Structure 1
């Protein structure tokens, strides 16, 4: 079987050549990530998340909880963490709430701004 042609290492500023499938030379082989499916075992996705999402929407009666607290009524289309996972929140029913699209977008922007202020 013919050998694989040599190609430049995928590591930034590395001039070495490699024949490895992952594209990294021996020096940078630790940068190669194993192939993972979907989200790599983290976060949401799949049947368990869909079930939990449906349970939260039913519990909150398909109403945006932020709008409800402000005295308005809006149909919820998203389910979001009350305490973000990046801040130590769990992906469990007690830490999830139903939100409408605009509230979800505003909340995500607030969280991103907080993360930038924290420096992470």
Structure 2
């Protein structure tokens, strides 16, 4: 019986040949369909623990649960809280953590607007 031809790794742009259809050793973790972007840290380890959850609820109430960005794909109902000036940009400007996390730097947003704003802040990269 003839050997089965090798296939290309399913990771877009990888190009490595594999014996069975799927992912190469480097990308095998992506076989579950998603990859964690948080480096394996919990939300609390990333600074979004109990105090953040309380602040988040306060901001959503302050903005009456309405998206403050109101972009083209806005669904109006805010379920997330966004840093108006991104944390990375604020650190570049020399802001303190207190300034970065001040309520005046937070706004209620819907998911689609939050994703679009974050993508734009990253230069269009996902």
TM-score (normalised: structure 2):
0.52
Deviation sequence 1:85-106 (CA, Å, 0-9, x none)? 1011601211000000110010
| Residue in structure 2 matching 1:95, options 97, 100, 105 | 105
Specify which structure has the bigger relative contact order, considering alpha-carbon pairs within 8 angstroms and separated by 6 or more residues.
Answer: 2
Change (3 A) 1:39 1:100: closer
**Residues 102-113 of structure 1 mapped to structure 2, 5 A cutoff:** 102-113=112-123
TM-score (normalised: structure 1):
0.54
Q: Distance in 2 between matches of 1:64 and 1:83?
A: 16
Deviation sequence 1:40-84 (CA, Å, 0-9, x none)? 85x4321100010001000000000011x88x7710011010001
Q: Distance in 2 between matches of 1:100 and 1:48?
A: 21
| Residue in structure 2 matching 1:53, options 52, 56, 64 | 56
Q: Decide which structure has greater helix share.
A: 1
Change (3 A) 1:101 1:39: closer
| Deviation beyond 3 Å, 4+ runs, structure 1 | 37-41
> 2:77 is matched with which residue?
75
**Number of residues of Structure 1 aligned to a counterpart in Structure 2:** 76
- 8 Å Cα contact 2:81/2:108 also seen in 1: yes
Change (3 A) 1:40 1:46: closer
Question: Which sections of structure 1, spanning at least 5 residues, go unmatched?
Answer: 1-36
